Amino acid sequence: MQAMLSMAARWLAEADGLLITAGAGMGIDSGLPDFRGPGGFWAAYPALRGARLDFTEIANPAAFERDPTLAWGFYGHRLDRYRQTPPHAGFHLLRDLAQGLPKGAFVFTSNVDGQFQKAGFPTERVCEIHGSIHHLQCLSDCKGRIWSADGFVPQVDT
């Protein structure tokens, strides 16, 4: 293990840039839930435990048509939680490492929580492949436009 860590440190010392790839596990140390199992998901969103819904049943456009109150409650609760949660030290460590490299860093993430931007990564260097919860989009024919959710203040009954 020590040899592998030494090799990784050597590669970082020789790098001129960094590509950071991250998924659900990155936010766990910040206190954000992952959605891999119903135990963690239902613990984070207790209103869905009673409805016996899992992540795939609520995290899709059809949920807004089927039960808009529940869908907005779920997304509003997540949005509020993500806004209130500061990024853990690992985000800042990566940011600081990247700032010392001539070409900086790019982030490719499946996370929608905005933690990299909150930690100081430039928005134009973060690719959120699944989108961002910090944007709103309509379900009807709105030509694919999205809007910032900055002014949206959800009222959520947890």
Per the DSSP assignment, residues forming a β-bridge with 107 are 20, 126
Using a 10 angstrom Cβ sphere, with 0-12 exposed, 13-18 middle and 19 or more buried, the burial of residue 15 is middle
List alpha helices for 15-147, DSSP H.
38-44, 46-51, 55-58, 61-66, 68-84, 89-99, 115-118
SS3 121: coil
* 130 flagged as catalytic: yes
Q: First and final CA of the chain: distance in angstroms?
A: 44
Q: Which residues contact 156 (CB under 8 A, 6 or more apart)?
A: 73, 76, 77, 80
Q: Which residues are catalytic?
A: 130
